[in-house]
Amino acid sequence: MALFSTKQKKEDIAAVFPEEIYRTGELALKDVLSPAALQVSPTYVRLGEKFARTIFVFSYPRYLSTNWFSPVINIDKIFDVAFYVHPVDTGAILRTLRKKVAQVQSQISMRESKGMVRDPILDTAYRDLEELRDKLQQAQERLFNFGLYVTIYGFSEEELNKTEGQIKSLLEARLVYTKPALFQQSEGFQTILPLNQDILHIHTYLNSSPISSTFPFVSFDLTSNKGILYGINRHNNSLILFDRFSLPNANSVLFGTSGCGKSYFTKLEILRSLMWDVDVIVIDPEREYEFLAQAVGGSSVNISLTSKNHINPFDLPVPREDESPADVLRSNIVNLVGLFRIMLGGLTPEEDAILDQTITETYAARDITPESDFSKIVPPTLSDLELVLASTAGGEELAMRLKKYTTGTWSGFLNQQTNIEAGNRLIVFSVRDMEDELRPVAMFIILRFIWNLVRTTLKKRLLVVDEAWWLMKNEDGASFLFGIAKRSRKYYLGLSTITQDVGDFLNSPYGKPIITNSSMQILLKQSPATINIVMEIFNLTEEEKFLLLESDRGEGIFFAGLKHVAIKVIASYTEDQVITSDPAQLLMIKKAKEEYAKENG
C-alpha cells in the first residue's frame, strides 16, 4: 500500500473537490439567524438567552364580540401570534350537522315525553345548529377549522409564567380558554414561525363571523367628514382628517425637540385652518411666522423696545352681554398685579396690597369705575400709576422700581397707548427682537391683549403660543396661560401650546393641568433626556417610546381624545414653500429669487 504525506493528501483532495472545500468554510444565512444554543423542555424552548413558550386556544364562548383579541395585542410584551384557517367541506359538515340536529331533537322529545322540565342548553344548541345549517345552506357562512397559537418570550421561566398569566386573565374574562403546549413546545415553536406549517394541529370549528372577529390589527382612524388634513396615519396610510373644535375643548399641546418639525406642523395647521374660516393669532418668539403672514395677507406685529407698535397693559375689554363691568375691571386689576410680579421680580404681601389699591385709584383718576362705558374710555398708562404710587404711603419704593419702565431704558415698550389694529384674520406677534429678560413680560402682555380681544367678540379662533416655556418659567405667566386653557371653550377659542423644553414646562405646577385641559396632544421626536417624563405623562408603551426616539422630522404620535395614531406630516409643494423653516431650504429659495430677479430685472 502506497504511503502519502498529509500535505500531499490535502493537495490531492483539493484538486479533486475544490468546490466542496470552499463550501465548508462558507457562512450560510441559517448560521447567522440561528441561536447559539437550543434547549427543549416540556414547558418552554430556550433559544440562547431567551425563553419561549407556546400556548393555544382550545375553547371559545358561544358569542365573540368584534375586536375581542385586541387587548392581548396591545399588551406591552413581545410575542408572536399565528392564525391557521383550514376550510371544511360544506357538504360533509351539513351531513354531520343533520345528524347532530336529529340527536339534539331526539333528546328534547324524550325529555318532553317523560314530563321533564325543558333544558335551556339543549334548546340553545338546537337553535344554533339550525341557524348554522341555514347559513351554510344559503352560502352566507362557511365553516373552518381554526387554530390560534401565541408564543411568548422572556429572560426567565418566571417571566414566562407572569406573561402567560396576564394573557390568560384577559382571555378568560371573555370566556376564551388557553393551555400551554406541554411536551410539544418544539412543535409549537415551529408552528408559530412564518413557514405556514400547522404542526400542533389543535383546531376548533368556527364559522366565518367569529373568525373575522379575531382579526387583531385594528388601528384607530381619525378621518371625519369635516376638518383639516393633519397628516398620514403611519399604520395604515389613511388620512388624518380632524376638526379640533369637535372635541370637548379645542386646546392642544405640541412637544418635540429642536428641528423635529413643530413650527412646520403648526404653520401647516394655520394655513389649512384659515380656509375653514378660523381666525388665527400667533405669539412668535423667533419671527418664524412672518413670511406665512405676508403670504396670506395677514398682519405681522413686531414687539420690541424700539418698535412703533405698543400695547397698554391698562386696556380694558368691552364687557359682553353676559358679563358684568365690575367683574371685568376686577379681573383686569388682578391680572395687572400678576404682570407687575413678573416685571418687578416678585412682590411682598404688603407690596401686593399697595399695588392692588393704587391700580384701582389709577383707574378712578381717569374716571374709570364699574359704572363706566368701557368703549369710550381712555385708559391710564404706567406713568399714571407711578404718580399714584409716589404719593401713596409705602409705595415710594415701588414707584422707583417702576421708573425703568416709565422713563428708563424700557420706557418705549409699555408706557404708551395701544396702537395695534387687530382686524386681520391672521395676526402674528413677534418678540424675537425683545431682550431675553423682557421676553416673558412681553409674551404675558401680548397674551392679555389677545385675551381681551377674544372676550370682546365671539368668533372661531386659534391662539398659538410658540415656545410656551418662556411663560411657564414664571408662576403668574403659567397661571394666566392655564386660565385661558380652562376658559377658552366658552369663547370659541382653541389654544395651541408649543414647547421644546418639556422639563421646564412640566416642572411648572400648571404644566400638567394645561396638558389635561388639552383634548389634542401631538408628540414629535423626543430626546433621550426627556423621553421618560413624556412616557409617564402620556402613558406610552415601550414601542411608542422607541417610535418617538427614532422618528424623523414631521413624524410622531397624534392624540385626539381617547384615540391616538402614529402620524407623518405631509404638505404640498406650494404649502412647503410657504411654511418651511429649514435654513438650507430657505437659502435655496432666496438664491432662486435673486437669480429670477437678475434674469427679469
pLDDT value for 1:
40
250 and 351 both lie in a single domain: no
281 and 335 both lie in a single domain: no
Query: What mean pLDDT, rounded, does the chain reach?
Result: 84
Q: At what angle do helices 349-365 and 325-343 cross, to 10 degrees?
A: 130
Q: Last residue of a domain, which of 178, 213, 248?
A: 213
Q: Last residue of a domain, which of 213, 244, 270?
A: 213
d(CA 11, CA 323): 103
d(CA 23, CA 71): 49
Task: Specify the CATH number for the domain of residue 276.
Answer: 3.40.50.300
pLDDT value for 4:
44
**Amino acid identity, position 131:** E
pLDDT value for 346:
85
How do 563-568 and 555-560 pair as beta strands? antiparallel
Q: Which residue has the higher pLDDT, 272 or 457?
A: 272
Contacts of 391 (CB under 8 A, 6+ apart): none
Which range marks the domain in which residue 110 is found? 51-213
pLDDT value for 428:
93
Average pLDDT on 452-456 reads 86
470 and 497 both lie in a single domain: yes
pLDDT value for 2:
43
352-381 pLDDT, tens per residue? Answer: 899 999 999 999 888 888 888 888 888 998
DSSP character string of 213-228: HT----------SSSE
335 and 242 both lie in a single domain: no
56 and 200 both lie in a single domain: yes
Q: At what angle do helices 349-365 and 396-406 cross, to 10 degrees?
A: 60
196 and 271 both lie in a single domain: no
**Is the overall model pTM greater than 0.95, yes or no?**
no
Q: Last residue of a domain, which of 213, 248, 281?
A: 213
The three cell numbers of residue 481 are 396661560
Task: Specify the CATH number for the domain of residue 348.
Answer: 1.10.8.730
274-327 pLDDT, tens per residue? Answer: 988 899 999 998 888 988 998 899 998 888 888 888 888 898 888 887 788 888
pLDDT value for 3:
43
Whether 29 is in a domain gets the answer: no
pLDDT value for 27:
64
402 and 445 both lie in a single domain: no
Instruction: Identify the band that residue 599 occupies on the pLDDT scale cut at 50, 70 and 90.
Output: confident
544 and 448 both lie in a single domain: yes
397-449 pLDDT, tens per residue? Answer: 888 988 888 888 777 778 888 888 888 899 999 988 888 888 888 888 888 89
434 and 558 both lie in a single domain: yes
Average pLDDT on 461-468 reads 91
Percent of the chain topping pLDDT 70: 93
318 and 454 both lie in a single domain: no
d(CA 578, CA 586): 10
Residue 273 pLDDT greater than 90, yes or no: yes
Whether 23 is in a domain gets the answer: no
Whether 33 is in a domain gets the answer: no
109-139 pLDDT, tens per residue? Answer: 888 887 787 777 777 777 877 777 777 777 7
512-541 pLDDT, tens per residue? Answer: 899 989 989 999 998 888 888 888 888 888
Q: How many domains does the chain have?
A: 4
202 and 127 both lie in a single domain: yes
d(CA 290, CA 429): 9
100 and 125 both lie in a single domain: yes
Residue 218 pLDDT greater than 70, yes or no: no
Q: What's phi and psi for 51, nearest 5 deg?
A: -105, 145
User: How far is CA 202 from each of CA 59, 173, 307, rounded to the nearest angstrom?
Assistant: 11, 22, 79
Residue 89 pLDDT greater than 60, yes or no: yes
d(CA 591, CA 596): 9
pLDDT value for 56:
95
d(CA 579, CA 265): 9
Average pLDDT on 239-247 reads 87
Q: Kindly report the CA angle at 317 between 313 and 318, in degrees rounded to 5?
A: 155
89-93, 290-294, 335-339, 466-470: least confident range: 89-93
382-401 pLDDT, tens per residue? Answer: 999 999 998 888 888 888 98
Instruction: Identify the band that residue 177 occupies on the pLDDT scale cut at 50, 70 and 90.
Output: very high
